Amino acid sequence: MSTLEEILKATGDEVLDLAKSQFKELLIEAKKESPEVINETAEKVERWLVMRASGDLDDDELKALLNARRRTVRQFLLTQEIATRARLERISLGLIDSVRNKFIGAIF
Amino acid sequence: MITGCSLFTSHYDATRHENFTRLKAFHIKFIEDYTEGSGKEWNKQAILEICDQGDLKFKEALVYAASKDTKDNTGANAVRYLRDQFKENCSSLLKRKVLFSKGFSAELVKELELQYDYAIAGELRRVGAPQ
């Protein structure tokens, strides 16, 4: 089995059908998303499932990689938070400093 | 996402930045050293020692980051995610009693590089970071 589609078809189980369908929808949605980290997550999850099906990873290794990816996404979100806060500070303090250092005395 | 009382964030800190780069090198070398290969064997004592060394390094980095954080905790959280990753890798190595497989290790190292690169990128986006 070399593709995710083949893997999902091979594991025929009615109980899993809904989960499979939801998973495929999420995967399609993630691949369309930006930022890159979301798209990259979809590609990696797909690759790891194929690796698991072909025996290149075992269950524990697959779980460990999924945990690692969760932390990668969290670290990315933290970086975004830091960038947003820093930008707010630069803009706010930049405005205040402009008025204090350049406008007072020159305009008024 | 902005939460809590603190609107702004801790400014750039050169030591915290350096800690991320040192921990990245240490963590990736740890995974590579304990990946299957010719002449390598699983050795509980050696793993316990390297994991203990790592535990101290991550604790020091966490205490330092927390001491420099404002109320937003972004510095400490960045170290905490990395420390949790290291702890999970150590636990897995001890529990499974085998070295990391080559396929798994290659995928894990790619994730680790991204985790540390994001942590470093976050530090470099702070106010006061070198341009």
**What is the domain count for chain B?**
1
Nearest CA distance, B118 vs chain A (angstrom): 6
State how far the Cα of A71 lies from the Cα of A17, in Å rounded to an integer: 28
What is the domain extent for residue B66? 14-124
Give, for all 131 residues of chain B, the pLDDT tens digit. Answer: 444 446 788 999 999 999 999 999 999 999 999 999 999 999 999 999 999 999 999 999 999 999 998 778 999 999 999 999 999 999 999 999 999 999 999 999 999 999 999 999 999 999 999 98
Could you tell me if residue B4 is inside a domain? no
- B112 part of a folded domain: yes
Nearest-by-CA chain A residue for B9:
A85
The mean pLDDT of chain A is 84
Contact B117, B28 (CB under 8 A): no
Q: Name which of B7, B81, B103 is nearest A88 (Cβ-Cβ).
A: B7
Specify burial of residue B30 (Cβ count, 10 A radius: 0-12, 13-18, 19+). buried
Within a domain: B6: no
Residue B1 in any domain: the answer is no
Of B72, B101, B112, the CB nearest to A61: B101
B7 within domain boundaries? no
Q: Is the CB of B1 less than 8 angstroms away from the CB of A61?
A: no
- Is there a domain that residue B9 lies in? no
Per residue in A25-37, pLDDT (tens digit) is: 777 877 776 678 8
| Residue B129, domain member (yes or no) | no
CA B33 – CA B54 distance, rounded (Å): 14
CA distance A11 to chain B (A): 23
ipTM: 0.92
- Interface touch A89/B9, C-beta < 8 Å: yes
Per-residue pLDDT of chain A (108 residues; tens, 9 = 90+): 567 777 777 766 665 677 777 777 777 877 776 678 888 999 999 999 999 999 999 999 999 999 999 999 999 999 999 999 998 888 888 788 777 776 676 666
What is the pTM (predicted TM-score) of this model?
0.86
Residues of B in contact with A84 (CB under 8 A): 2
DSSP for chain B reads ---SS--S-PPP-HHHHHHHHHHHHHHHHHHHHTB--TT----HHHHHHHHHHHHHHHHHHHHHHHHH--TT-HHHHHHHHHHHHHHHHHHHHHHH-SPBPHHHHHHHHHHHHHHHHHHHHHHHTSTT---
A vs B, Cβ pairs < 8 A, gives: 97
